[in-house]
Amino acid sequence: MEKLGINPILLGFQLFNFAVVLVLLNFLVLKPLSELMDKRKKKIEAGIAKEGEVDVRLAQIESERNKQLAKTRTEIDQMMADAAKKAVVIKEEVLANARKEADSIVTKAHQRISIEKDEMMATAKNEVAELTIKAVEQLFSDEQSSSVIKKQINQSTIEKLWQNHQK
């Protein structure tokens, strides 16, 4: 080997130095770097797995939200239908009350008209009786006979009015 210009002892030391550097590099650089790369790889894989979980959870939340919205819409529709039914019932009650009040007013008006008619008839009968008495008085000029006739006419008129009033 000396012919090639290689010193075997120096080559042995260089090989030993190279092996020491390789061992040192392996323990000081390559192993920590490899461990760091493995940790980073695991973090990335965990992030990807978590992203999948987040997507699944997001889909579940979206599904639950849609179900809740559908349920809320159904409840709102039911409330609106109930409110419409109640409005119809209230409207019918108000109309029925208005009809009752109108009927009551009409009945009272008919009663008043009937009472006023009876009063007018009584007044008219009294006036007719008085006119009849005056006419009879003029026919009979005698005072005695006129007072007797007056009494009889007044008595018969009062009796007729009383009978009409009792009816």
Handedness of CA 144, 147, 153, 158 (dihedral sign): negative
Q: What is the pTM of this model?
A: 0.41
The residues spanned by each domain of the chain are 8-122
Q: What is the pLDDT of residues 103-160, one digit of tens each?
A: 999 999 999 999 999 889 888 888 887 887 777 666 665 555 556 666 677 777 777 7
Q: What is the pLDDT of residues 61-112, one digit of tens each?
A: 999 999 999 999 999 999 999 999 999 999 999 999 999 999 999 999 999 9
Cα gap 26→150, rounded to integer Å:
156
